[in-house]
Chains A and B, each alone.
Chain A
């Protein structure tokens, strides 16, 4: 199968943070490997979900791709252009095409700006409107697109509920007509009833505009609803990546299975989820496969060697030493 070149191609992305203070009075410096060599691609019009526990580095992936954090190593090609090493001045025109929806709708809108001012910011920055009248037309169209009354333009963020604010956050992104939207836990701060509305909205918008999405979430139910493909992250690495059905119906990696079994479900006779304790620290990850201390089927090789990516199908890849044993169990 020959596919067109992906919209975003990420190769071996690494983002490390230095924590602690050095020098004679410091507590000593440590390197936190938030993202440690991940590769994936997103095609035009596709929704790729990035799932994993808190602290596995999924948010850092989004922040690195938007240059909110500097990448330590690796490449990311957006439409053929390497974006991680671009200086800010050259990256700015591309920012219009790579946009981000934030997690906390109460912190992501400047409380001192009206909705009109908030939504006019992207238009001013990228010079998309000649005057205020033109800007207001665009803003009211976009507000309708996200299901808000254009009359709300003159109000301040504090007058809106979380769901409404998140719609405004979506409007701020969609007004630029981006090619790639990075949605960082965009519904996890909302009530469950509102979550569904906002999810349906973003799904409809995505389908109608054909925008690609990197959907970052820890909520597998939400992920199952929205994604085309799913990548599972554990301690800065992708452990399994595949189509939605491959991940949800036929998971291969023990960590993916653990995650899936932890979705709360009402089902008679269901066995209790094993409590495996906290994940290992990202400042001192375990040797070999990072998941081996919590893995039920870990063997000697898991403690010493990093697992390779094993291709299970053209779209399904899993990083586990014991993959053949797992597959045998499944087939």
Chain B
């Protein structure tokens, strides 16, 4: 090369790049030490597998009624049989099969609502943080308005007007729970936007979509993942609440919230009917929250455990 002197100034020690674990290696070590993340991830993976292979796992058709076998106890109860390990409901449908199929509804609604709200919230949050000024003022105003709405009440009102179905519930929830995405990503974007590498990209002449996709989004992705998991859990709980109130998924679909609602009449005589879907709901939401917290812990630079 033309510059001999420049090469000479480079000392031998400087030449060697410092060998430190890559972020990925560091993250793997942290995941290995993070038990609650592992527990959360295992439960969630089990639930997802259960939902995917539901049709192979169920012992009975979850919709098949058998009025001669109503309200059979689970195997630990007095009338329990291995034919219906978790018993049957008031219409004689196999409870275990309904529970397994219910995981499909819960995960589907949670995931879709999270996706819709994630897209809305990310666009708003990143736009507010990146452009600032008036754009930020307008978006912050929209966020404030959204935060002043009680989610459950608005969802109930909308569903009762539009009519309730799986799709309506997904869309209504998706359009309502984007606030946390917007708030968190706005502040994360503000932080990244002031980094010198964004100014460097601007000086190089990068267009703003390029800066957003190359510089901003990759550097706020850990916040995005954490909020996404939390909002998924939030959506699942909201769906259960709506279904319990009769404004969510409609029978005969096996939603866990709906199962709790249907079991309400029998809760003093057959307490397991309300406990079983309740525990399933609890486990799923707990798993997602553990996973979200865990991801936050292993991706933060300080690496708290």
Q: Which residues of A are at the interface with B, using a C-beta cutoff of 8 A?
A: 63, 66, 68, 92-93, 95-96, 98-100, 102-104, 107-113, 121-122, 125-126, 141, 144-149, 152, 155-156, 158-161, 163-164, 169, 172, 176, 194, 197, 200-201, 204-205, 208
Q: What residues of chain B lie closer than 8 Å to A141, measured between beta carbons?
A: 1
Asked if B18 contacts A111 (CB within 8 A), the reply is no
Asked if B196 contacts A103 (CB within 8 A), the reply is yes
- In chain A, what residue has the closest Cβ to B206? A125
CA distance A121 to B196 in the complex (A): 15
Q: What residues of chain B lie closer than 8 Å to A164, measured between beta carbons?
A: 14, 17
Q: What residues of chain B lie closer than 8 Å to A102, measured between beta carbons?
A: 196, 199-200
Asked if B6 contacts A108 (CB within 8 A), the reply is no
What 1/0 mask marks residues of chain B from 239 to 263 whose CB sits below 8 Å from any chain A CB?
0000000000000000000000000
Going nearest first, the 4 A-B pairs with the smallest beta carbon separation are A147-B10, A95-B205, A108-B196, A112-B218
Q: What residues of chain A lie closer than 8 Å to B201, measured between beta carbons?
A: 110, 121
- In chain A, what residue has the closest Cβ to B5? A204
Q: What residues of chain B lie closer than 8 Å to A93, measured between beta carbons?
A: 205
Asked if A95 contacts B203 (CB within 8 A), the reply is yes
Interface check B141, CB cutoff 8 A? no
- In chain B, what residue has the closest Cβ to A159? B17
A-B contact sample (9 more), CB < 8 A, given A145-B3, A146-B6:
A103-B196, A108-B199, A108-B200, A144-B7, A156-B23, A164-B17, A194-B14, A204-B6, A205-B6
Interface check B68, CB cutoff 8 A? no
CB-contacts of B191-205 with A (<8 A): 195-197, 199-205
CA distance A158 to B218 in the complex (A): 16
Interface check B20, CB cutoff 8 A? yes
Q: What residues of chain B lie closer than 8 Å to A108, measured between beta carbons?
A: 195-197, 199-200
Asked if B205 contacts A148 (CB within 8 A), the reply is no
Q: What residues of chain A lie closer than 8 Å to B7, measured between beta carbons?
A: 144, 147
Asked if B197 contacts A92 (CB within 8 A), the reply is no
Smallest distance from the beta carbon of B14 to chain A beta carbons, Å?
6
8 contacts between A and B (CB under 8 A): A110-B219, A121-B201, A121-B206, A122-B204, A125-B204, A145-B1, A161-B14, A172-B200
Q: What residues of chain B lie closer than 8 Å to A144, measured between beta carbons?
A: 1, 7
CB-contacts of B4-21 with A (<8 A): 5-7, 9-11, 14-15, 17-20
Q: What residues of chain B lie closer than 8 Å to A161, measured between beta carbons?
A: 14, 18
Q: What residues of chain B lie closer than 8 Å to A208, measured between beta carbons?
A: 2-3
Interface check B136, CB cutoff 8 A? no
